[in-house]
Structure 1
């Protein structure tokens, strides 16, 4: 396995770094976030292009460093095996899968949180309009849904989805399929574990974190369902290609 950086990975690294610098220096750090981060679709700041552009945005130095290290570490051997076209197909398909699962889960949470308000006679249109106009009236809403649920509702509506993590989780899953015997380890758990066990374990921890609200190894504001969505898409693409590798009408691994 040659870890000399591959061409597509190099260009993705450059784009991510340029976008991160732009986030810092353009518009007092707010303009890029306003344009290119992914907002909840019912938020007035949501724009369709954010579905793609958020994949090149990051929330801080640590965030981009970890993601770009993972992109180089796992993306390089995956691109070397698949080639640039199939690598990019996995990368962006995983990113889209991450968005779909995360936004779908956010809608599920959003609808659950506002259901007591709807039962009290408020319509979805009125709730969304109030949120887009500066927020719900705490003195009115707190007795109905409680302050913790109001905080959760605001986090969903006003929060931003940023980062290449969903894409990279798809590449990580592809790495696990291509190099199942490769030994990996976490920084805080320096025990070598084969990729075929390590990667499913990471995905399972992300899923548990999303459903329980408890973080095992990532910041509490991590979009865990995006990780799960990206990984599942990456795995199923690789599984499908492997299953059809002898079919002349399919790409051969």
Structure 2
């Protein structure tokens, strides 16, 4: 794997104005008000609740996917038979797209939707009339009156094209290993939950230090995926994209990134949101060491409840997970 480090950007007012055609200042921000840790109560419960919903939804998604595999097997067999007897169209664009899609790994297919969402949000930043809406909901800021939804939405938000390109490249690079290790459902739950958790850690750090600022970027979530892969496969060889001749182990890469972000947090560096980086890394390490056992392996009772509800709603026997 070749990868640079992820970048979850902290955007003080001056930096934001430099990157966009209009100043991105939240009119509802309360930076001048005294620090109040009571403002972190709602973000805390949002983090816990969103994480639970993410993994619950992933468990249901996996259940439904397994259930549909038998049905899709017969559908695909019928489609293959029809394809053989149907006249072929030359230059069939749809067929070419299907061939490209099936040439991707499962991990690459899984993150395609995430990358597309980031691109759409990036384009929305270029629309001047959307600026107030984007500032309110797509920038995480503990001084804003809108606290919870930006914790998630800001992880899909990039103002700089370079920032987005680097983050999406890293996500693409690690997607194959991460999804083969976790599965697409579990991967998605980890990614989204880590994004919200890293935003909450950023909130706590900013509130504690009084260094308020606006943050955007997917790298809190990406750091969790990177940390999970490096923790699970510590001997994997990595390289920096611009220096492919120098390789190092995944374990050493993770240690170096954590050390850099820790130094940035202690020294008060403002270019990156180092607290969000560390929050994502901690989430990824915790999930591999403990979270998988505590959450994913104990999903069966929840899936059984869903199975029973689905069976009663359908009025007939249901499939099993």
1:115 alignment counterpart: none
Residues 121, 157 of structure 2: 8 Å contact kept = yes
Secondary structure of 1:39's partner? coil
Structure 1 residue runs without a partner (length 5+): 111-152, 215-219
Q: CA deviation at 1:49?
A: 1.1
Establish whether residue 180 from structure 1 lines up as the match of residue 234 from structure 2: yes
1:198 alignment counterpart: 253
Query: 1:63 aligned to 163, 174, 191, which one?
Result: 163
C-alpha RMSD of the superposition? 2.7
- Stretch of structure 1 that moved more, 26-35 or 90-99: 26-35
Q: Distance in 1 between matches of 2:128 and 2:180?
A: 35
2:4 alignment counterpart: none
CA offsets 1:29-58 (integer angstroms, 9 cap, x no match): 454233321122x334x2421111111001
CA offsets 1:44-76 (integer angstroms, 9 cap, x no match): 4x2421111111001201110010001101123
1:223 alignment counterpart: 273
CA offsets 1:140-178 (integer angstroms, 9 cap, x no match): xxxxxxxxxxxxx5xx1xx32111010000000111123
1:213 alignment counterpart: 268
Q: Distance in 2 between matches of 1:242 and 1:248?
A: 6
TM (norm. structure 1) is 0.69
CA offsets 1:158-210 (integer angstroms, 9 cap, x no match): x3211101000000011112322221133566521100111121111111111
Residues 78, 178 of structure 1: 8 Å contact kept = no
Distance 1:3 1:225, change over 3 A: farther
Establish whether residue 236 from structure 1 lines up as the match of residue 286 from structure 2: yes
Q: Distance in 2 between matches of 1:224 and 1:189?
A: 24
Work out the number of aligned pairs and report it. 197
Query: 1:171 aligned to 221, 225, 231, which one?
Result: 225
Query: 2:176 aligned to 70, 76, 86, which one?
Result: 76
Query: 1:95 aligned to 180, 195, 200, which one?
Result: 195
Secondary structure of 2:126's partner? helix
Rg larger for: 2
Q: CA deviation at 1:3?
A: 7.4
- Stretch of structure 1 that moved more, 221-230 or 186-195: 186-195
Establish whether residue 33 from structure 1 lines up as the match of residue 135 from structure 2: yes
TM (norm. structure 2) is 0.55
Distance 1:76 1:25, change over 3 A: farther
Q: Which has the higher contact order (CA 8 A, sep 6+)?
A: 2
